[in-house]
Amino acid sequence: MSHSQYKCQVQGKESYIDNLFVIFSQSYLMNQVKEYHKEKGHSNKNRVKLLELGCYNGRVMQFMTQQMIFVNYTGIDVTQKYLAHSPVARRKDVTLLCEDVTQGLTVADGSQDMIISSEVLEHINPEDLPGVIQTLYNKLKVGGRICVAFPMNTRDKMYHDLSKEKGLGHVNFPVYEDFIKLCENTGFTFHHYDSGFSLK
């Protein structure tokens, strides 16, 4: 699905808070890629094959390049107009695809070292989520890793209420414990969990 529709975008205005949130979320993804890159012994000649789901305009690739993190990048978003204005569209190490993950992806199975996604899964209907997780699992190489960041609840506490966030296109706030179980039942091995930032 597409990158989160922030209120500032819907209203056609730039917001300092929303842009600060983007920096936080993109920095988290970049750090995870950097750690995986180092852990697996990749280099600029042996690059991580990275897929980003809900890539907006591929800006995380631009940010990573500025931080000297080089990957072979596939960005996927459901909204063509975002991809059409990508600052990285002409790079030889970038592929941009306009696809809906709930309908499957044309990326070859077993082709990606790592998948990242931020602020996307809350836009996917609950009944579609198991199929999406299976699709992402299929795209990874053996030993590959997925890193997803999105608002969620826990069995003990409800942090997010769908009735209050419909205007943002949110349709699903998975319960953390259930999400981990879904991923493990799909075939993933749990690596670690970070409880992160919150901006109001």
| Closest to 135 (Cα-Cα) out of 101, 112, 111 | 101
pLDDT score of 2: 37
Rounded Cα gap, residues 198 and 181, in angstroms: 24
- Structure tokens, 61: 């690739």
**pTM above 0.85?**
yes
| pLDDT tens, per residue, the chain with 200 residues | 333 433 334 445 667 777 777 788 888 899 999 999 889 888 878 899 999 999 999 999 999 999 999 999 999 999 999 999 999 999 999 999 999 999 999 999 999 999 999 989 988 999 999 999 999 999 999 999 999 988 888 888 888 888 777 677 888 888 889 999 999 999 999 998 887 555 44
H helices of the chain, where?
Answer: 7-10, 16-39, 59-66, 80-84, 129-139, 162-165, 176-186
